[in-house]
Amino acid sequence: MSQTKDIRDAVESELSFDPLVDDADISVKNINGDVALNGTVPSYPRYLEAAAAARRVGGVKKVQNHLEVVLSAEDYRDDAALTTAANNALAGNVTVPAGAEATGKDGNVTLTGTVSYGTERTAAEQAVTYLTGVRNVRDDIEISIDADPVDVTSYVQDALDRSSLILDDSDVTVETSGNTVTLTGHVRTFAEHDAVIDAAWMATGVYDVHDDLYVTG
């Protein structure tokens, strides 16, 4: 059996195995570890979980999530109701600062405003992800905190060195342009990939992270 079929079958099995995924209308394509998910799912959390399930499979190097969220009539919220629900969720989350705001349109939630840390930006996105009526989340929140770019490089590298998921001989390289971090190099799995990205976002003074990592599978 070819590796292409092996990986596709394994991804399909993982989608079927994961109770948080509705795989009834999902099709999987694989070309040398580059996996594409096509079809529809009934909610945004299931959209995210389908991609997460595919990333867990050995040999998968990249996941392209082309799934469309098709809400049921019961889950639909008009723009005003979705906007109110999203802003209430932000206000009710103690890890989200007052600078974050949400706007809902056709099921798409856009987050705007200014926060101090990448972790606050992530918290805002997670606060609205599981709301009924959400088809997609766009995070346009800006990060603003005074930090010397030289220090940013050191902060990110130190965070990577502390991570238990990243090998001591890792070739991951941290480069900064202003307060934007670019990560390059090789990681073995998506778990390691996500650990690198998360560590970079947690560092003080990081405004944006460019992901140029290569997952070897």
Architecture field, domain 3-69: 2-Layer Sandwich (3.30)
pLDDT digits (tens, 9 = 90+) for 110-151: 999 999 888 899 999 999 999 999 999 999 999 887 767 678
Phi and psi (nearest 5°) for 159?
Answer: -65, -40
Phi and psi (nearest 5°) for 102?
Answer: -130, 145
What's the rounded mean pLDDT across residues 152-172? Answer: 85
pLDDT digits (tens, 9 = 90+) for 91-108: 999 999 998 999 999 999
pTM value is 0.83
> Distance between CA 110 and CA 46 in Å, rounded?
19
Q: What is the CA radius of gyration of the chain?
A: 19
CA atoms within 13 A on the CB side of 166: 22
CATH match of 149-215 with 3.30.1340.30: yes
pLDDT digits (tens, 9 = 90+) for 55-95: 999 999 999 999 999 999 999 999 999 999 999 999 999 99
Q: What percent of the chain has pLDDT over 90?
A: 70
pLDDT digits (tens, 9 = 90+) for 7-27: 999 999 999 999 999 999 999
Query: For residue 196, how many other CB atoms are within 10 A of its CB?
Result: 24
CATH 3.30.1340.30 residue ranges of the chain are 149-215
Pick the CATH number of 79-143 from 3.30.750, 1.10.10, 3.30.1340, 2.60.120: 3.30.1340
